[in-house]
Structure 1
Amino acid sequence: MPATDYQGSSAPFSSLGRSILSIRRDQVHAMEGNQDGNSIHEQELESFQKQIADQFHDLAAVSGEELLSLSWIQKLLNAFLCCQEEFKVILFNNKQNLSKPPLDRLIAEFFERSVKALDVCNAIRDGIEQIRQWQKQLEIVLCALDSHHRTLGEGQFRRAKKALTDLAIGMLDEKEACSVIAHRNRSFGRNNTSKDHRPPGHYRSLSWSVSRSWSAAKQIQAIGNNLTPPRNNEIAASGGLVVPIYTMNSVLMFVMWALVAAIPCQDRGLQMHFSVPRQFSWAASILSLHERIVEESKKRERKNSSGLLKEIHQIEKSARHMTELADTIHFPLTEEREVEVKQGVEELAQLCDAMKSGLDPLERQVREVFHRIVRSRTEGLDSFGKSNNPE
């Protein structure tokens, strides 16, 4: 279990409710001639906390329909990028202090967590590609059942049903998919065995970039491991700088967890123990989002889903509806049935359009998060090294 609970402090946590400003003021009260610099430092740290709080307040204010949608995930990543940029500025402005305890250890741990987040980004990009494969199956259905230029017959519905069956198998996890494929091989007989006998992992992205033994759940646990809120003596010793480091660690862990919850990837287990002191101004919003996402995962219709992304749920519902419709079709089509098919096709077309317009920007954002983490880590390590080796 990630050590995100507060353990073993010499002071009660209620005292963390004091602002960084007041803690810093206590520390430097006896010092003279530095008031302006201290004031700027305090404002910088307070501003960072406020930005985090504002970003996640907006993310938490959405309705249940918007939560975990493609547009919401994009907003989440945009918030992460904004917060990380501000965090980088804080580190740069205080680089002369980064080699001092406890900052040296905490910064090193943050960079380690950042490296683990890169694997998550790779897995998420693979998951986006997997969703694209499902989208292609839907487009086959749309093409097969396009009635604008021809009358729909048995051949068109056979083609649509095959695409829907392949889609249903593709949306299962690998063990279930292999079991279903084996069943189909037996059911279809010897002549079709070579056609449907696919090796394990057939439905994985051809550009899969994490190993088969990699686990998203374990990676999230590793990111959260030993992440504990700062003690008052650490806050005082660091001039408050431990607080933004803890804050950014918490944001990194939550964002990576939310991505894993939403997008298909290996071993998506969502049982992350996430606990932050509510005295932080951003805590209530992040804890609320965590709770809502967990509750969404517990819904009966989402328990076996390959991802909590709203659009994945819409794919599942639309595909199920079209499959049931195709299974009950008799020829020639009645006018009523033809209207039902057209309505189903229109819904699929709208869903495909939404996927086309949403997946590419999302992938670009995930790529940007990856490169921004790499760049920030490189710049941070360079700065850290220079502060340890002054010329």
Structure 2
Amino acid sequence: MSRSQDPHPSRSIFPFGNPFRMKSHKGSHLSPQLLGVLQGFETTLAERLRKLMPKSKDEILSLSWMTFAMKSLCESHNDIRTLITDLELPVSNWDDKWVDVYFDISTKLLDICNAFSSELSRLNQGNLPLKCALHHLGPASSKSFLRACSLLDDWRRHINAKNPRIEKCSTILDGLVGSLDLPKVKNSAKGKVLMQAMYGIKVETVFVCSVFSAAFSGSSKKLLDLDVADVYAWAPAFKSLQNLVNEEIRVRFSSGKFSVLNELEAVDAVVKELYPTIQGGVNTEDKVEPELHLKTVEELGAAAEKLSQGMDLLAKGVDGFFQAVLTSRDTLLSSLRFDKNVNDRVVGRNMDQQVVY
């Protein structure tokens, strides 16, 4: 299904003009060293985005791909810390607007991470009725089948429930989109490099988080289509990635699947296959073919185990991203405190000198 056929187009994210209209620096304004640092950063980002490109549409929204996306964000945010070190840009030279924007963004990202962790924890809680159902599917008796049916119904209701914290992610992401229009940098070539690098990282971050938000909320309306200028070295890789992933997610939503998450859908597919059999076995045990029943139960067990392991790995990935953002925040805070202490000592020394003279 093409985007033109989508009856629910993505919401507009440019109500007050396009915040992505950010002019690129002219190469003549940067020294060869600074230009090399920026080009190296953007080349790495472009390669990272290319690696995120799924080999097939079937990989999109697999828990392994989502875990890899979280790892990619961790690496990108760690690269920002490295870039600041390479630029040798003292905190004292940071414009107040840069600091304010950075802390606002990091606060929003921490909130989003907490929401994702909350949802993964909620989904993992669904493993309990699923495991109990598998236990009751072992013995072929009408009583055990009746209990299994009830537990599988509980699992579906639990998975389909809405998480209020995920619903709020959409508003948080809108705030991040607004912050993509970075503060203007005057008289600081290093500042321009830092702002342009941060722009690329934020675009990747908003994209990945909007994909997660859509997947967890069960709504393609949560997807964001980010318009990035071609002046950035990573833009072609990003556009290809965004177009493929967003379009496939919209197709899945339009098909009415139980879940757009691959592993959840796989479990539900086996449940649907198994359900009529065990319902029939509630009243007439003869309807249950032992070999076929055993095979289907084993398939459900394998699918449930794959789902559980995938959720655990993704939860660790989200926690890793949370820690990366938190570490960057702490590093900047420590630098600000250190810079303030140094400046206070310098001011004090100057005042003492004035007294002596």
Q: Which amino acid in structure 2 is aligned with residue 298 of structure 1?
A: R
- Per the TM alignment, residue 359 of structure 1 is displaced from its structure 2 partner at its CA by 2.0
Q: Which amino acid in structure 2 is aligned with residue 45 of structure 1?
A: L
- 1:92 maps to 2:85: yes
- Per the TM alignment, residue 98 of structure 1 is displaced from its structure 2 partner at its CA by 5.4
Given the alignment, which residue of 47, 52, 72 partners 2:40? 47
Q: Which amino acid in structure 1 is aligned with residue 37 of structure 2?
A: E
How do 1:299-314 residues align onto structure 2 when only pairs under 5 Å count? 299=251, 308-314=260-266
Question: Residue in 1 aligned with 2:351?
Answer: none
Given the alignment, which residue of 157, 165, 170 partners 2:153? 165
Distance 1:108 1:230 in 2: 10
Unaligned runs of 5+ in 1: 29-37, 175-203, 205-210
Distance 1:110 1:165 in 2: 45
Given the alignment, which residue of 200, 214, 228 partners 2:181? 228
Distance 2:36 2:111 in 1: 35
Distance 2:208 2:314 in 1: 14
- Per the TM alignment, residue 7 of structure 1 is displaced from its structure 2 partner at its CA by 6.7
Distance 1:287 1:213 in 2: 26
Question: Residue in 2 aligned with 1:297?
Answer: 249
- Per the TM alignment, residue 307 of structure 1 is displaced from its structure 2 partner at its CA by 5.5
The percent identity for this pair of structures is 19
CA offsets, 1:40-67, max 9 Å, x none? 4332221111111111101114211112
Distance 1:347 1:234 in 2: 64
How do 1:1-391 residues align onto structure 2 when only pairs under 5 Å count? 1-3=12-14, 5-6=18-19, 16=24, 23-24=26-27, 26-27=28-29, 38-94=31-87, 96=89, 104-146=96-138, 150=139, 152-174=140-162, 215-228=168-181, 238-263=191-216, 269-299=221-251, 308-329=260-281, 331-334=284-287, 337-384=289-336, 386=338, 390=343, 391=346
Q: 1:135–1:94: structure 2 CA closer, same or farther, 3 Å change rule?
A: same
- TM-score by length of structure 2 reads 0.79
Distance 2:112 2:306 in 1: 24
- Per the TM alignment, residue 292 of structure 1 is displaced from its structure 2 partner at its CA by 3.1
Q: 1:233–1:333: structure 2 CA closer, same or farther, 3 Å change rule?
A: farther
Please report the RMSD computed on the Cα atoms of aligned residues, expressed in angstroms: 3.3
Distance 1:49 1:111 in 2: 23
> For this pair of structures, how many residues does the alignment match?
329
- Per the TM alignment, residue 118 of structure 1 is displaced from its structure 2 partner at its CA by 0.8
Give yes or no for contact 1:229–1:276 (8 Å, CA) kept in 2.
Answer: no
Distance 1:244 1:306 in 2: 39
Give yes or no for contact 2:211–2:223 (8 Å, CA) kept in 1.
Answer: no
Q: 1:242–1:364: structure 2 CA closer, same or farther, 3 Å change rule?
A: same
Worse-matched range after superposition: 249-258 or 299-308: 299-308
Larger helix proportion of the pair? 2
- Per the TM alignment, residue 264 of structure 1 is displaced from its structure 2 partner at its CA by 5.0
Give yes or no for contact 1:141–1:160 (8 Å, CA) kept in 2.
Answer: yes
Question: Residue in 2 aligned with 1:185?
Answer: none
Give yes or no for contact 1:84–1:248 (8 Å, CA) kept in 2.
Answer: yes
Q: 1:289–1:136: structure 2 CA closer, same or farther, 3 Å change rule?
A: farther
Q: 1:94–1:250: structure 2 CA closer, same or farther, 3 Å change rule?
A: same
Unaligned runs of 5+ in 2: 1-11, 347-357
Distance 2:185 2:201 in 1: 18
Q: 1:234–1:169: structure 2 CA closer, same or farther, 3 Å change rule?
A: farther
Q: Which amino acid in structure 2 is aligned with residue 153 of structure 1?
A: S
Q: 1:56–1:156: structure 2 CA closer, same or farther, 3 Å change rule?
A: same
- TM-score by length of structure 1 reads 0.73
- Per the TM alignment, residue 273 of structure 1 is displaced from its structure 2 partner at its CA by 4.1
Q: Which amino acid in structure 1 is aligned with residue 156 of structure 2?
A: A
Distance 2:242 2:21 in 1: 25
- Per the TM alignment, residue 69 of structure 1 is displaced from its structure 2 partner at its CA by 0.9
Distance 2:171 2:187 in 1: 29
CA offsets, 1:164-219, max 9 Å, x none? 11112112235xxxxxxxxxxxxxxxxxxxxxxxxxxxxx6xxxxxx769611111
Q: 1:234–1:258: structure 2 CA closer, same or farther, 3 Å change rule?
A: farther
